[in-house]
A and B are shown apart, each in its own frame.
Chain A
Amino acid sequence: MMQLTPIKGFSDTPVSKSICIVTTLLALGLSIFQYKYVVKLEIDPYIIEYAQYWRLFTYQLSIINESDFVLTFLLWFHFKSLERFFGSRKYLSLITVFWLYNGILCFLFIILGQLGLNFGIFLINLVFGSTIGTLSYSTTIFNSVAPGPLGILSTLYLCHGAVIPRSYVFTILISKPQISGNSLDDQVSPSKELQLTNHFQTHLIYFLLLLNNGFSSILPCIVGIIIGKLFKEDILAGKNWLLPTSILRLFVNPLAWLTNFFQGRFSVHRGYQELNTQNDNANSTQQLVNDDEEDVLDEDRANATEIRAETPVRPLRTQFLDAFRT
């Protein structure tokens, strides 16, 4: 099967796997049970009239249309390398932090935008209008944002660009190379070529996501990019905060967590006593989380050799791509 990302499947990326599953199930559930309105954020009826501030935290939880679903799913899939880079626990913690930041900042952004736009119209009326305009409030394009984790993905997109190194660069010549006066050296005019890296898929998908809902998807993406910039410059508060491991375990493997939870409380001692495996599990998960960062390089190397060993015959595509890898 074709491999989209450097990491095979969801190997050692449990958080990304859970996120992809949750994204799918939530989107399906919301549409089957007809609860799509839960993830909509609109200033005018919801916030102003009904004071439903909980929507600040729900609107990023799920997308509600199919094309958004495909794009967000692919992006989460590509950002697996970020989970490998940060480690599972840090990655989930960062997503949580970005989620809160994006929710609140995006809300402030659209409120200010809406008020500013109204005021601007008022000023224009005042200056150019024949009658003295009254300051009247009406809904503008800032009224609503597209539901879905667009802000979080934008922030992660910036992280991805900053921390994940490129493995290769390739150039597509758009026109025939022009041979200049110096016949020894083929000079290509820089405007006629397209330089791409192995990140170009991510750029493409993100660009589509940015434009997918028009203005209402551009808004949260801008906010997300700003937050990502702050994170890159190390001036985002709370970026070193870590989630408790129990939450990580619940998120990564809810069934195991639940059985563990219930066995701890309602175990019936019949005949023989079971060994208490809870602590062992906790330790091993802890270890897994801690070891992740150190193991990344080793694992990559191991994986690489493993893949080589498994597939001694390299397909044509790999041969081509390997030719670019220096």
Chain B
Amino acid sequence: MSLDRQTLIFLIIMFIFLLLPNGADQPQSRAEREVLATYQKNIIEKRKIFRESEYYKGYGNLTGFELSYEDNLQNKNASNWPFREYTKEHPWKETAKDSILPNSVSDRVKEFWNKESIDTGDEESRAYLLNISGNAFGEFEIDKFSKELKPYNFGLPAFLENYFSWTRNDQKEIDSDRDNDYSHADSPSDNTNLSTIHKIGNISYSTGKVSISFSSSDYNFKDNTLKKFVKDDKSRVEDAVNIVADVSLEDSKEADQSHLPMYGIYFQDSGAIALTTFSAKFMGRLAFPHLVFNEKNFNRAKILTEQYINATESPKDIGIDMMSERLSSAVQSCEYVGYIQLDKTQYSKSQLREIDNELIHSQGIPLPGSLPRINITDALFYSPDCGISLSMNHKTEFSGNKVTVTERQFKKILNIFSCMLIAQLILFIKQIKDAKTPGQLSNISYSTLNLIAFQDALLGISFLLLSSFTRSLYLIISCITVLTFILCGIFEMRFLVSVKMNQVNEQGTTWWEILRGSGSNEPSSDSTNGNQNEAGPNNDTNPGELPPPVTAARPQPNVVGVNDEARYSNGVFVTGFALSIITTFFLINVRTWRFSYRRAFEFFGFVFINSYWVPQFFRNTLKNRRQAFSWPFVYGTSALRLLPILYLALYSENPFRHHYDPALAATVSIWVLVQLSLLHLQEMYGARFWINEKWLPKAYDYHPLLQVSDVEHHYVSDILASIKSQPYDPTKASVLQAKVDCSICMSEVTVPLLSNLAAQKLLSTADKLHQQKYMVTPCHHIFHTDCLEDWLSYKLQCPVCRSALPPV
């Protein structure tokens, strides 16, 4: 039985669909269901502890927070909790005796964090930022304390531990099935095995780069998800907001990256941010209110955190995948607690509010020249379980722009970019109008156009992808996408196809033949083996001798039908589109490479993509034409394609965060200038100025001296007839004046005929001049020079017999 291809593909796709996991993963076995139920119960219980907590009572029995730092130093067992009683008289204090922060860390934090708090009711004095959604970039270094920090050994709760080892056992069994050499001696439940895994965030280098992207929610009484939990004034918080931060730490080479999703709160009155991670082994969010150093902060943090947790996840929503996610992050990454102090802005609270409003909804209200930035004066990240403390490097700036400011910058750039696209579009339309005749089209290099169109296709596809990610910039990005697709898909594609159609008669010929300008259509078997220049000598006829007669059997040139245009355009479109999509995904992958590789790739890629005039240079040489594209097009296109690269490489404040790289800018622009100067040299000194004349094959001579013997062999009989009819003149016996009709203007051409080679010396200057007045084609048809040259600018084809003609 044979399946046809479509059915087979359909079956395969159906099969893949059936195998795909269906989003909501249900617990598969009874054991899993039990674990999940226990986990949910555990969470409800812990949240109860959280709700009842007071600042003086301490963390309570939360996973990961049983031991204080001193307990950890004394290697106490977490299961023996509680170790001490807290009352109002003997409250919990932020010291190593009670807290998980070592004294060295908490003293450092107290030095800079939450020092100065401003009056939030005061609208006019300098204030801290209100909305901190944005990104900050800086450098960090590992803190060195006199006493080394002792890492905690957080354990998972017993039921999760069992579940984890059970799933790992499963995994191991599968592994060992695959690989029988694997020894079973290594117990999977061994805790040492767990800690030897390289954890995310376990920094082994002393300095590196840090970038934090904050996304802040609105005030709890304004935010859509939190609003419903604000019932009275007590649950209203007017000077602090929830934030979610994505902290990314990487070494200076960008080879090792760790991303830590963190939860936290921004206190607007003091410009202080506290952050924490959370996982199955470290209930950072529930203990968060105790991490903020004083009771006032504790109260606000407790309200906001409770509302946030209630709004984002109810215990019933916790599914098996969320549990395993928490579990895997507990196993795979370090826990962190972070403290960040922002700098005061130079604006008052009301001004800041106005600026924020204007940035979100543009009204044309004048903005100050320097928009407020996220400036971090100091920051500290402490990891209890990895025993690491990171501080900001004070020698460098740790700052960045808010999202709204970045979007504004993007908007400006994109507006300018769309104008550039329109300019490119106009240039292309003009160029297409200019180059209409086949003579001009045959000079244009297909590869040059291909490279230009490839750039635009890449742009179009990347903007198409981008348009689905942004909301505020959607309109302009989709407009750019449409413009690029018009430019690339309509105009450039049409131009490409017409050039390709025009040059279709070159298929099967060799470079050598085109150089020679014979334009013959004989299919050459040598042209397929790649080394095309070798084909030259084989096909080269002896100079001086005229090519074989046209009457000899020669293959007809490929007749291009109507369907061929569609065929070519389909072919060009499909290959171009596929190539661009593959390249786009490759480029997305490149973004994650380490810096040095990325930079090398950038150099290579930009130089390659900007070498579009090189093929044209060779094409000019081949066709011996000085100029194919008009100069405005050449300069305009080069400038339009160079400008974005120069902007990225030379303007260090660019919102793409491309590094400052003058070497790249210089390389690319010099490379483009070199290409332009090559084209100019061709314009001035001829297309083949760089090739020694001797290497070139001899071009076809349109003005040969004809001999009677040639005429007798190849030419039409009326020449002979006209000679015979002439009165015989003994003085001019060697030079005959033959008269033929030029089939373009239908008037007479006088052609001097030599009776033999020796008679050449006898030619008068007048005859030599006269030689320039007629042209003889390789197919032995004779025309006036003016007539045929006019015709050749339209079509390189003999008007009489339609065989291809070499260019003049």
Chain A residues, Cβ within 8 Å of B418: 32-33
Chain B residue nearest in CB terms to A31: B475
- Whether B364 lies near A40 (C-beta < 8 A) is yes
| Interfacial residues of chain A within 38-57, with CB under 8 A of chain B in the complex | 38, 40, 45-46, 50, 52, 55
Instruction: Give the residues in chain A near B479, CB-CB below 8 Å.
Output: 32
A-B CB pair tally, cutoff 8 Å: 28
Is B646 interfacial (CB 8 A cutoff)? Answer: no
Contact residues in B for A32 (Cβ distance below 8 Å): 418, 475-476, 479
Contact A50 B366 (CB under 8 A): yes
The answer to whether A34 has its CB under 8 Å from any CB of chain B is: yes
Other-chain contact of B363, A31, A33, A37 (Cβ < 8 Å): A37
Give the contacts of A13-37 with B (CB-CB under 8 A).
Answer: 31-35, 37
Q: Is the CB of A37 within 8 A of B476?
A: no
B578 within 8 A of A: no
Q: Which of B364, B365, B476 has the most CB of A within 10 A?
A: B364
CA distance A55 to B362 in the complex (A): 15
Measured between beta carbons, the chain A residues less than 8 angstroms from B365 are: 45, 50
B743 contacts the other chain (Cβ, under 8 Å)?
no
Task: List chain B residues, Cβ under 8 A from A50.
Answer: 365-366
- For the complex, what is the distance from the CA of A55 to the CA of B364, rounded to whole Å? 10
Residues from chain B with a CB closer than 8 A to the CB of A31 are: 475
Q: In the complex, are the beta carbons of B475 and A37 less than 8 A apart?
A: no
Number of B positions contacting A (CB below 8 A):
11
Contact code string B448-488 (vs A, CB < 8 Å = 1, else 0): 00000000000000000000000000011001000000000
Residues of B within 8 A of A45 (CB): 363, 365
B411 with A34: CB separation less than 8 A: yes
The reply on B95 being an interface residue by CB < 8 A is: no
Q: Mark A55-66, 1 if CB is under 8 A from B, else 0.
A: 100000000000
User: What's the Cα separation between A50 and B475 when bound, in Å?
Assistant: 29
CA distance A52 to B363 in the complex (A): 12
Distance from A49 Cβ to chain B, minimum over Cβ atoms (Å)? 8
Is B637 positioned at the interface, with any CB of A under 8 Å from its CB?
no
Contacts of B364 in A (CB 8 A): 37-38, 40, 46, 52, 55
Interface string of B356-392 (1 = CB under 8 A from A): 0000001111100000000000000000000000000
| B61 CB, nearest partner CB in chain A, Å | 54
Residues in A75-93 with C-beta less than 8 Å from chain B? none
B404 at the interface (CB under 8 A from A): no
- The number of chain A residues with a CB under 8 A from chain B is 13
Q: Does B440 contact A (CB under 8 A)?
A: no
Q: Which of A34, A38, A46 contacts B475 (CB 8 A)?
A: A34
In the bound complex, how far is the Cα of B364 from the Cα of A37, in angstroms? 6
Q: Which residues of B contact A37 (CB under 8 A)?
A: 362-364
Residues of A within 8 A of B475 (CB): 31-32, 34
B window 390-417: CB within 8 A of A: 411, 415
Identity of the chain A residue whose Cβ is nearest the Cβ of B472 in the assembled complex: A34
Q: How far is the CA of A38 from the CA of B364 in the complex (A)?
A: 7
CB distance from B208 to the nearest CB of A (A): 38
In the assembled complex, the Cα of A45 lies from the Cα of B357 at a distance in Å of 13
Q: How far is the CA of A224 from the CA of B366 in the complex (A)?
A: 31
Per the bound structure, the CA–CA distance linking A46 and B479 in Å amounts to 30
**CB within 8 Å of A: which B471-509 residues:** 475-476, 479
Query: Does B362 contact A34, Cβ atoms closer than 8 Å?
Result: yes
Please measure, in the bound complex, the distance between the C-alpha atom of A5 and the C-alpha atom of B411, giving whole angstroms: 42
Q: For the complex, give the distance between the alpha carbons of A33 and B479 in Å.
A: 9
Q: How far is the CA of A31 from the CA of B362 in the complex (A)?
A: 12
B-side contacts of A52, CB under 8 Å: 364, 366
> What 0/1 readout, one digit per residue, does chain A (136-167) give for beta carbons within 8 Å of chain B?
00000000000000000000000000000000
Residues 423-464 of B, flagged 1 when their CB comes within 8 A of A and 0 if not, give: 000000000000000000000000000000000000000000
Residues in A neighbouring B415, C-beta threshold 8 A: 33
Give chain B residues whose Cβ lies under 8 Å from the Cβ of A46.
364
Q: Which residue of A lies closest to B363 (CB)?
A: A37
List the B residue with the shortest CB-CB distance to A54. Answer: B364
Q: Report the minimal beta-carbon distance from B428 to chain A, rounded to whole angstroms.
A: 16
**With the chains together, A249 CA to B363 CA distance in Å?**
34
Cα–Cα distance between A34 and B415 once the two chains are bound (Å): 10
Residues facing B in A176-235 (CB within 8 A) are none
* Nearest CB in chain A: distance from B361 CB, A: 9
Interface residues of B in 19-37 (CB under 8 A from A): none
Give the shortest distance, in Å, between A90 (CB) and chain B (any CB).
Answer: 32
A51 nearest in chain B by CB position: B366
Identity of the chain B residue whose Cβ is nearest the Cβ of A39 in the assembled complex:
B364
In the bound complex, what is the Cα–Cα distance between A33 and B364 (angstroms)?
13
Shortest Cβ distance from B366 into A: residue: A50
Instruction: Give CA–CA (A17, B476) in the complex, Å.
Output: 27
In the bound complex, how far is the Cα of B411 from the Cα of A32, in angstroms? 11
Closest to B631 in A: A268
Chain A positions within 8 Å of B366 at CB level: 50, 52
**From A34, A38, A40, contact of B476 by CB (8 A):** A34
How far apart are the CA atoms of A34 and B479 in the complex, in Å? 12
Interface residues of A in 218-257 (CB under 8 A from B): none
Bound state CA distance, A45 and B361, in angstroms? 14
CB distance from A44 to the nearest CB of B (A): 12
Separation of A34 and B471 alpha carbons in the complex (Å) = 13
Question: Once the chains are docked, how many angstroms separate the CA of A92 from the CA of B365?
Answer: 32
Whether A33 pairs with B476 at a CB distance below 8 angstroms is: yes
A241→B363 CA distance, assembly (Å): 36
Residues of B589-642 contacting chain A, CB below 8 A: none
State the Cβ distance, B807 to closest chain A Cβ, in Å: 21
Give Cα distance in the complex from A38 to B363, angstroms: 8
Instruction: Give the docked Cα–Cα distance between A34 and B414 (Å).
Output: 12
A40 CB contacts on chain B under 8 angstroms: 363-364
Give min CB distance, B803 to chain A, whole Å: 34
In the assembled complex, the CB of A53 is this many whole angstroms from the nearest CB of chain B, namely: 13
Chain A residues, CB < 8 A from B362: 34-35, 37
**Distance (whole angstroms) from the CB of A269 to the closest CB of chain B:** 15
Q: How far is the CA of A39 from the CA of B382 in the complex (A)?
A: 53
Query: In this complex, what residue of A is CB-closest to B362?
Result: A37
A40 to B365, CA, bound (A): 12
B residues less than 8 Å from A38 (CB atoms): 364
Q: How far, in whole Å, are A31 and B418 apart by their CA atoms in the complex?
A: 14
Give the docked Cα–Cα distance between A37 and B361 (Å): 10
Complex-state Cα separation, A34 to B470, whole angstroms = 15
Q: Considering the chains assembled together, what is the distance between the CA atoms of A35 and B476 in angstroms?
A: 12
Closest to B358 in A: A37
Give the complex CA separation of A202 and B426 in angstroms: 37
Q: How far is the CA of A251 from the CA of B434 in the complex (A)?
A: 26
> What CA separation (Å) do A40 and B418 show in the bound complex?
24
Give B31 Cβ to nearest chain A Cβ, in Å. 56
Looking across the interface, which residue of chain B has its beta carbon closest to that of A36?
B362
In the assembly, what is the distance between CA of A52 and CA of B365, in Å? Answer: 9
B411 CB → nearest A CB, Å:
7
**Which chain B residues lie closer than 8 Å to A33 at the CB level?**
411, 415, 418, 476
For residue A50, give the distance in angstroms from its CB to the closest CB of chain B.
Answer: 6
CB-defined contacts of B363 to chain A, threshold 8 Å: 37, 40, 45
Give A193 to B479 CA distance when docked, in angstroms.
Answer: 51
Q: Considering the chains assembled together, what is the distance between the CA atoms of A35 and B363 in angstroms?
A: 9
Residues of A within 8 A of B411 (CB): 33-34
Minimum distance in angstroms from A95 CB to a CB of chain B: 25
Docked pose: A143 CA to B214 CA in angstroms: 39
A33 to B475, CA, bound (A): 8
A27 to B415, CA, bound (A): 15
CA A55 – CA B418 in complex, angstroms?
Answer: 26
Give the interface of A toward B (CB within 8 A): 31-35, 37-38, 40, 45-46, 50, 52, 55
- CB-defined A-B contacts under 8 Å, sample of 19: A32-B475, A32-B479, A33-B411, A33-B415, A33-B476, A34-B362, A34-B475, A34-B476, A35-B362, A37-B362, A37-B363, A38-B364, A40-B363, A45-B363, A45-B365, A46-B364, A50-B365, A52-B364, A52-B366
Q: A32-B418, A34-B411 are in contact. List 9 more A-B contacts (CB 8 A).
A: A31-B475, A33-B415, A34-B362, A34-B475, A34-B476, A35-B362, A45-B363, A50-B366, A52-B366
* A-B CB proximity, top 6 nearest: A37-B364, A32-B479, A33-B415, A37-B363, A37-B362, A32-B475
